[in-house]
Amino acid sequence: MGQEILAVIGTTLWMIVGIIGIFAIYLAVSGLCYFAHNLYSRRKESIKGYTSLKTVTFGDESSVTANRVASIAAVITLFLLWGIATGSKLLPPILPGPFVGDTSFEYTAINATGDTADATVFVRVHEAANKEAGKPTITGDGGAGFAKADTVIVPERRTKIIKVQNNDDGGKEPGFKVTAINGLAIAPKQTVPFKDGEVYMTAKGSLSVRPRTGVTMEALYLPPPELVWTRFVNVFQNGYLGVGLFENVFWSLIRVVIGFTLGCLFGIPLGFAMGLNSWLRGWFEPIVEFMRPVPPLALIPLIIIWFGIGEQGKISLLFLAALWIMTIAARAGVSGVNIAKVHAAYSLGASKRQILSKVILPNSLPEIFTGARVAMGVCWGTVVAAELVAAEKGAGKMIIAASKFQLTDIVIIGIIIIGIIGYGIDVLMRIAENRLVPWKGKG
């Protein structure tokens, strides 16, 4: 237990170092862009608005608006960093990539009788995607004496063990061993560099060829942007595992819409009931207050046990995710009604039903909208998580299936699409809010 905690602390410290490193790079680029932007914009004459005349801006939140140039530069920077780190072909090589091409090294062997001879190993390093790389050709004499030239094909970033003695005269006899690579002595469990990588000798005396891997990331971990784009076009046209991209997203969305709508349909009246009646408030409060902090994801196992992995389970889960949020939002909306407005409406002769529809409902709309935005966000996150666990179609199902086949590009496509749709939902909700509740924050 104590050791585990120590390990956690250690990991955390390393993570802090990593986070600081990443942030430092990103902020440094931001600083450079800021500097460049300032140089450029200083030359321009701009019309001064009222805000630009404020001298106190530090601490005045209203004078701080998002600089759109910064936003655009930030997104471009992200893509650039992505491209650089993965050695994208769209950019000139900035970080050294893995070695690809033909190379060779020479080994020196000693045989049972004590003679030495040299021979060349021709190495062909091919790109990971190129499955039909042929053997390299042996040029020159390759090897004089008992040692004979060898060829080896290695995929980029991989290593390959080669038994150079296999084709050498007397290579199988005891006493035969490789003693040097390019004139540098080597012994079992030692590594010797050559011009395009290194050679490691195994404990049993075989050579392991390791071409230089470079410092860019492998596509398995993070594919370069152009690969993701090609894959996107491919998945967009042909689908993945027989399900179209659009179909996957559509199914996720339809679940969210149904679950969210059900949540609103039951949550808002429930919230109103709790805000308007003491008995109902007391009756529902324990369950609402208990269920509110339970993350919907914690319900997934139970939902699967009860409803299986079909649509019913997922919609029930989303319904539960939205229900409590909408209930609490509607209740807060009712309690936020200025009592003077209710009094005024009664004095003007409104009935209870009219008070509910003409005063309480519109007055709680801002709160309900805030709740709806939260609920939509939670539902979207929950549907993806639920699909990760079990689904036939859906954005979450697409990425979990792709991850099992190490198709990182599809995973990234999925994440980007999920992010864009989540953002789109929020933007739509905000537009609807501005249209339907223009008085929000102005009452």
Partner 1 sequence: MSGLVIDDVSMTFELPNGSKVEALKNINLEIKEGELMSVLGPSGCGKTTFLNILAGFLAQTSGHMTINGHEINGPHPERGMVFQHGALFEWMNVSKNIGFGPKMKGTPQAKIDAKVNELLDIVGLQDFGEKMIYEMSGGMQQRVALARCLANEPDVILMDEPLGALDALTREKMQSLVLDIWKKTGKTIILITHSVEEALLLGERLIVMAPRPGRIHKEYRLPFAELGVGADLREVKRHKDFGPTRDEILNMIWDMEEEIMGRTEDA
Q: How far is the CB of 359 from partner 1 (least distance, A)?
A: 7
Is 430 near partner 1 (CB under 8 A)?
Answer: no
Contact predicate 355/342, CB 8 Å: yes
DSSP 328-394: HHHHHHHHTS-HHHHHHHHHTT--HHHHIIIIIHHHHHHHHHHHHHHHHHHHHHHHHHHHHHS-SSS
Cα dist. 174→110, 111, 115, 144, 180 in Å? 11, 8, 13, 21, 18
| Rg of the chain over all Cα atoms, to the nearest angstrom | 33
Is 346 near partner 1 (CB under 8 A)?
Answer: yes
Is 443 near partner 1 (CB under 8 A)?
Answer: yes
Cα dist. 361→281, 323, 387, 423 in Å? 18, 18, 35, 27
Q: How far is the CB of 345 from partner 1 (least distance, A)?
A: 7
Binds partner 1 by CB under 8 A, chosen from 325, 359, 400, 417:
359
Query: 362-391: which residues touch partner 1 (CB under 8 A)?
Result: 362-363, 365
Binds partner 1 by CB under 8 A, chosen from 8, 36, 344, 416:
344
Q: Among residues 174 and 441, whose Cβ is nearest to partner 1? A: 441
Is 442 near partner 1 (CB under 8 A)?
Answer: yes
CA distance 204 to 65: 67
Is 281 near partner 1 (CB under 8 A)?
Answer: no
Torsion of CA 355, 358, 360, 362, to 10 degrees: 180
Q: How far is the CB of 344 from partner 1 (least distance, A)?
A: 4
CA distance 341 to 34: 50
User: Amino acid letter at 225?
Assistant: P
Binds partner 1 by CB under 8 A, chosen from 266, 358, 377, 385:
358
Q: How far is the CB of 356 from partner 1 (least distance, A)?
A: 13
By CB under 8 A, which span of 1-9, 136-144, 345-353, 410-418 interacts with partner 1? 345-353
Contact predicate 326/263, CB 8 Å: yes
Binds partner 1 by CB under 8 A, chosen from 243, 304, 345, 385:
345
Q: How far is the CB of 431 from partner 1 (least distance, A)?
A: 18
Q: How far is the CB of 24 from partner 1 (least distance, A)?
A: 46
Q: Tell me, what DSSP letter sits at residue 134?
A: P
Contact predicate 151/119, CB 8 Å: no
Is 284 near partner 1 (CB under 8 A)?
Answer: no
Helix, strand or coil for residue 168? coil
Is 343 near partner 1 (CB under 8 A)?
Answer: yes
Q: How far is the CB of 352 from partner 1 (least distance, A)?
A: 12
| Positions that interact with partner 1 (CB under 8 A) | 338, 340-341, 343-351, 354, 358-359, 362-363, 365, 437-439, 442-443
